[in-house]
A and B are shown apart, each in its own frame.
Chain A
């Protein structure tokens, strides 16, 4: 096109004087730094602290039944599963400092696949471990009183059933729909960059 220079002249006429000054921008960046990954870091710290607390409780409380030990270990394992999956995810983000658009789209596609995997597998495992842990852990506190035993276990079982068969599928359907739409768009972008 002979008129590329005309287009460049039009392009460069865009007004940029309402952009923040460099001093203002410095103030803005200092306020927003690390916000993106803060949620992930919080999950990691909270789950590690919770797992440590549960293990410490075994030594301080000295439970009498083996079911309590197993329950605490299973619940702590669920926390570790959640922490590890977030640590792996955060590690991928930190490797992303300098990559081309092609690599970035591949990264986004992999992130979405990992998210789907998390909902389909990791979350089920984590919830399975913590639910079983909760059932076993509660036993020592109620097994001598049949009424308390029935009330506690009914509540715990109802909570687990509602979570597994109502809350989780609903959340999964909503999330999967969004993720699949994003995956479609990413595939389209991926085709453009071949």
Chain B
């Protein structure tokens, strides 16, 4: 079993990106990352290896994201889907990233979690174990989310 510091160094960037994909807010994503590792630290000794350590950590992080709806008015009151600007985004990497976050923010909450995990390169079986759906169900959902994202990107002059 790796130590806390090793786990943190390995997973914190991934967890931050997943939280950022969910909340689309830098500071809130940092807070959620911190909360995730507080839970990891507290429960590391009782972690029973019933699942992979990455599955366990991503479960904690995504559950924290879902919990954020109770704490944050921002997530509660955001009316989704909001309208993306009609002007195509600038070509800088930062703008592309912001555009990607905005596209993900238009998705339903569970879809946001799923696509963030896909973009983190997690295998479908692991995503299924994190979310709590069957492999088949996850496969269908991933396919639909990718289609939705592709449409949004194409509509805004990307991927031509």
Within 8 A of A (CB), among B130-160: 130-133, 146-147, 149-150, 153, 159
> Does A100 belong to the interface (CB within 8 Å)?
yes
The answer to whether A189 and B66 touch (CB under 8 A), given A8-B119, A19-B16, A28-B38, is: yes
> Does B86 belong to the interface (CB within 8 Å)?
no
Within 8 A of B (CB), among A126-171: none
The answer to whether A14 and B129 touch (CB under 8 A), given A3-B159, A98-B51, A192-B108, is: no
**Cα–Cα, bound, A29→B96 (Å):** 34
What residues on B are CB-neighbors of A22 within 8 Å? 4-6, 8-9, 12
The answer to whether A102 and B132 touch (CB under 8 A), given A10-B96, A22-B8, is: yes
Within 8 A of A (CB), among B1-58: 4-6, 8-9, 12-13, 16-17, 20-21, 30, 33-34, 37-38, 41-43, 46-48, 50-51, 56
**Cα–Cα, bound, A108→B67 (Å):** 8
Give the total of A residues in contact with B, Cβ under 8 Å.
41
What residues on B are CB-neighbors of A180 within 8 Å? none
Which secondary structure dominates where chain A touches chain B? helix
What residues on B are CB-neighbors of A60 within 8 Å? none
What residues on A are CB-neighbors of B132 within 8 Å? 99-103, 193
> Does A182 belong to the interface (CB within 8 Å)?
yes
> Does A64 belong to the interface (CB within 8 Å)?
no
Among the listed B13, B48, B130, B159, which residue makes an inter-chain contact with A19, where contact means beta carbons less than 8 Å apart?
A: B13
Residue of A with least CB distance to B93: A13
> Does B79 belong to the interface (CB within 8 Å)?
no
Among the listed B42, B46, B59, which residue makes an inter-chain contact with A34, where contact means beta carbons less than 8 Å apart?
A: B42
Instruction: Quote the shortest CB–CB distance from B112 to chain A (angstroms).
Output: 10
Query: What are 12 A-to-B residue pairs whose CB atoms are below 8 Å?
Result: A3-B153, A3-B159, A7-B119, A10-B100, A13-B97, A14-B17, A22-B9, A26-B41, A29-B42, A98-B50, A103-B132, A192-B108
> Does A59 belong to the interface (CB within 8 Å)?
no
Q: Name B residues whose Cβ lies closer than 8 Å to a Cβ of A.
A: 4-6, 8-9, 12-13, 16-17, 20-21, 30, 33-34, 37-38, 41-43, 46-48, 50-51, 56, 59, 62-63, 66-67, 69-70, 76, 93-94, 96-97, 100, 108-111, 113, 118-121, 129-133, 146-147, 149-150, 153, 159
Residue of A with least CB distance to B104: A11
**Cα–Cα, bound, A28→B59 (Å):** 21
Q: Is the CB of A26 within 8 A of B110?
A: no
The answer to whether A101 and B159 touch (CB under 8 A), given A26-B4, A185-B76, is: no
Residue of A with least CB distance to B34: A28
Within 8 A of B (CB), among A1-59: 1-4, 6-8, 10-14, 16, 18-20, 22-23, 25-26, 28-29, 32-34
Among the listed A2, A20, A32, A189, which residue makes an inter-chain contact with B109, where contact means beta carbons less than 8 Å apart?
A: A189
**Cα–Cα, bound, A13→B48 (Å):** 34
**Cα–Cα, bound, A4→B149 (Å):** 10
Instruction: Quote the shortest CB–CB distance from B81 to chain A (angstroms).
Output: 14
Q: Is the CB of B13 within 8 A of A16?
A: yes
**Cα–Cα, bound, A134→B99 (Å):** 63
Q: Is the CB of A100 within 8 A of B69?
A: no
**Cα–Cα, bound, A12→B97 (Å):** 9
